Amino acid sequence: VINPQSAPEDPLSEMVTKEEELLASVEQQRQRQGTAAARDLCAYEERMVLLSDRLELARVELAEATERINSIYRTRLYRYSRHLRAFYFRNRTAKLEVEAEKTDEEVWSREPELPYALWVETYDTLTDADRSNLAHRVAQLSEPPLISVLLPVFNTPEPYLTAAIESVRGQIYPHWELCIADDCSSDPALAQRLEALAREEPRIKFTRRETNGHISAASNSALALASGSWIACLDHDDVLAETALAHFALEIARTPGLGALYSDEDKISETGERSDPFFKPDFDPLLLLGQNYLCHLTVLRRDLVLEVGGYREGYEGSQDWDLALRVTEKLAANQVSHIARVLYHWRIHSGSTASALTAKSYAAGAGTRAVADHLARCGAVAEVVPLEAWGWNRVKWSVPDPAPLVSIVIPTRDGKYLTSCIESIRRHTTYPNYEIVVVDNGSTGREVLEFLRLNESTINVVRDEGPFNFSAINNNAVALSGGDVICLLNDDTEIISPDWLEEMVGQLSRTSVGAVGAKLYYDSGLVQHAGAVLGIQGVAGHALRLSERQSVAYQGRTQLPRQFGAVTGACMVIRREAWDEAGGLDSVNLPVAFNDIDLCMKLRAAGWQVVWTPFAELTHHESVSRGPDTEGERALRFGREILYMKQRWGVALRSDSTYNPNLTLTHEDLSLAWPPRNLVIE
């Protein structure tokens, strides 16, 4: 029964209440982002002070050293003996230079001043206050998880084994147990030492295998000793960071429902110098098919490990990859957490896979089999092709049968490369079912018009006489096209890989994938696009732009398919369903720039994955048709588009989960971030 007196009140009151709730939510969001930014800036400032102090110290030392050198030059003996020295030591300068070079090398080998060393010194060196803060946080955990560290050993050099064990014993987090399994080492003294260690420290358990069973069997022996709810596997010559288990425990407590966690890692030399950090993206199942990027340190729920049967024999060398695949396929992506901190140091020495894959050549074959098994278990129609040079895999996803129609949409206005673009598609493309839609945005050149007229029987030509608005032009063309799959393609591109469309549509065949990007090269052959990272220079930038075609920089970042925050619209394949859901490109706010980035962000916000593949290769004569956006009205428009992106996406632009907070947002080279964006421990 509706009370007539209250009827008018209800809808209006509801709206007022809703508006008030929205207002409160906006205010909360505003305060949260303000607090977060202030907190980050404070942390930055602390490091600025630290760096400034060190700079001051270095300057003082440099001034002193310079003064010493000058004082040598000023000595009377030095001055008076100039001619004498010139006479007796005619080749003095050469000798000095040679000796100086030698000395230089010695100085470097004694005190390497490489940027990563400085980064570690500045951002990854614990103070007593850091230790006590972390210990305090850990002590506050109501149910601290017991973490069993598995340590299979076999003929391990004593210093490395001691370092590995001591790195566990030195953990800030106290709730651990170390499960050591000796795989029947030839030196009995090693087992005796470990037995003695187990007697001395109750948290250390030890077993010795009767026969040598290799790494999987030995890991299972260690696993059998474990009683913790979580397991972590430590290689017998590697080292855990002092904070490793504390960070894992805090993350486990903070995020209920996790099944697996992993951290970033770096290498450690025989003399303990750290190098070659690997800052990873958040969990990316696609990348995990190409390489075991989780590797170290991975922490897994023990019940899940037992459920899948532990480590499999026959996969030695990639047993951890195989286990990671079998565990993670039982989890949702949000049940796998990434701790973006270097918590594991991988020893480089002559026999470790850290130094070269060939050191354990059997690892690569086992990795390929592990991935093939995983795909079979998941019912995926795909083929695994080993990339032998690097020990990685390429997964070739099958195109659905029948192959969906792909509408290749190419906007142009007197495109200088339009003819070669379309001819390269026709000449190279092996994909069986595609249509080309050219949107002519007011071409006047006779050559282009003639080309379009002559090819009108095989190309759908759409006339769009409006002002240049890349988003609107594409949106209109897509609306007129008929494909279930859309391919946005710039008119200044040329196809290189014949199976580019098979590869891109194949990637799209997985239902979670909304859009796929390609690998683009400049005319010089250097990489123009290998995925876009959000936040670089404010909005987005091309990862590893200008790297070599075959570069394996950053753990093969430009050689393996993976998820990205965004991919360029210069060549983007997108499923129509996803396009419609995202509403296409934003023609109102982003008529020219960043509309592709915005589209990808909308797709990801709606739950679609955005994927990039290096196996679809094109040349991109970038911005040849339009020129750069650095002057006049174009610069103004570009500025507006940047502002819009920042306003619309805010902090999302600074937290690309496919990137890493320890990597820079000021350059495209994936160099270190100064400072990292995770200084504040959550």
Partner 1 sequence: LWIVITRLAPDDPEFASPLQAELERVRTQRIQAEQRRQAESVGNMDALLEAEEDQFALARELHETRLELAEAFALMEAIRRTKFHRVTTKLRSLYFRRSADKGGELLPGSS
Window 40-69: residues binding partner 1 (CB under 8 A):
40-41, 44-45, 47-48, 51-52, 54-55, 58-59, 61-62, 65-66, 68-69
* Alpha helix stretches (DSSP H) within 75-142: 76-80, 82-88, 92-110, 115-123, 128-139
CB of residue 274 to partner 1, shortest distance in Å: 16
Query: What is the smallest separation between the CB atom of 118 and partner 1, expressed in angstroms?
Result: 6
In terms of phi and psi (left: phi > 0; alpha: psi -120 to 50; beta: otherwise), the region of 474 is: alpha
In angstroms, give the least distance from the CB of 114 to partner 1. 9
- In the three-class reduction of DSSP (H, G, I as helix; E, B as strand; rest coil), residue 74 is classed as helix
Q: Which is nearer to partner 1, 16 or 546 (CB)?
A: 16
Give the residue with the Cβ less far from partner 1, 505 or 539: 539
Q: Smallest gap, in angstroms, from Cβ of residue 99 to partner 1?
A: 5
| Residues 620 to 659 in contact with partner 1, rule: CB under 8 A | 643, 646-647, 650-651, 653-654
Q: How far is the CB of 81 from partner 1 (least distance, A)?
A: 8
Task: Tell me: does residue 666 bind partner 1 (CB under 8 A).
Answer: yes
Interior angle at CA 311, CA 306 and CA 317, nearest 5: 160
- Span of 18-26, 139-147, 352-360, 396-404 interacting with partner 1 by CB under 8 A: 18-26
* Residues in 20-39 at the binding interface with partner 1, rule: CB under 8 A: 20, 22-23, 26-27, 29-30, 33-34, 37
Could you say whether residue 665 binds partner 1 (CB under 8 A)?
A: yes
**Contact between 7 and partner 1 (CB under 8 A)?**
yes
Measured CA to CA, the distance from residue 538 to residue 654 in angstroms comes to 8
CA-to-CA distance for 339 and 279, rounded, in angstroms? 10
Helices H / strands E in the chain, number of each: 22, 23
The identity of residue 238, as a single letter, is D
576 sits in which H/E element: helix 576-582
Looking at 87, 94, 103, 458, which residue binds partner 1 (CB under 8 A)? 103
CB 109, min distance to partner 1, A = 11
Tell whether residue 606 is a contact of partner 1 (CB under 8 A). Answer: no
Neighbours of 308 (CB within 10 A): 16
Q: Which stretch binds partner 1 (CB under 8 A): 110-118, 283-291, 323-331, 383-391?
A: 110-118
Q: How many CB atoms lie within 10 A of CB 477?
A: 22
Told to check if 498 binds partner 1 by CB under 8 A, we report no
Alpha helices in 212-346 (DSSP H): 214-225, 244-254, 285-290, 302-307, 319-328
CA distance 322 to 129: 40
User: Is residue 605 involved in binding partner 1 (CB under 8 A)?
Assistant: no
- The nearer residue to partner 1, 61 or 383, going by C-beta atoms, is 61
Scan residues 150-169 and list those touching partner 1 (CB under 8 A). none
Q: Is 632 left (phi over 0), alpha (psi -120 to 50) or beta?
A: left
Instruction: Tell which one of 90, 94, 109, 115 touches partner 1 (CB under 8 A).
Output: 115
454 binds partner 1 (CB under 8 A): no
Q: Minimum Å distance from CB 69 to partner 1?
A: 6
Closest to partner 1 by CB, 47 or 576: 47
* CB of residue 657 to partner 1, shortest distance in Å: 17
Using CB under 8 A as the binding rule, the residues of this chain from 556 to 595 that contact partner 1 are: none
The answer to whether 546 contacts partner 1 (rule: CB under 8 A) is no
CA distance 510 to 630: 40
Distance between CA atoms of 348 and 370, rounded to whole angstroms?
25
Please give the span between the terminal C-alpha atoms of the chain, in angstroms, as a whole number. Answer: 52
* Element housing 437 (H / E): strand 434-440
**Alpha-carbon Rg of the chain, whole angstroms?**
30
Q: Give the interface size with partner 1 as a residue count (CB under 8 A).
A: 81
**In the complex, what is the shortest distance from the CB of residue 594 to partner 1, in angstroms, rounded to a whole number?**
15
Task: Name which of residues 384 to 423 contact partner 1 (CB under 8 A).
Answer: none
Contact 302, 229 (CB under 8 A): yes
In eight-state DSSP terms, residue 283 is: P
Tokens 């419609």 locate to 580
Q: Between residues 77 and 189, which has the closer beta carbon with respect to partner 1?
A: 77
> Taking CB under 8 A as the criterion, which residues in 76-95 touch partner 1?
76-78, 81, 85, 88-89, 92, 95
Under the criterion CB under 8 A, does residue 12 sit at the interface with partner 1?
yes
Does 108 contact partner 1 by CB under 8 A? yes
Select from 233, 294, 238 the least CA-distant residue to 267: 238
Token pair of 16 as six digits:
């007022």
CB atoms within 10 A of CB 172: 21
Least distance to partner 1, CB of residue 645, Å = 10
Task: Determine, following the binding rule CB under 8 A, whether residue 273 of this chain makes contact with partner 1.
Answer: no
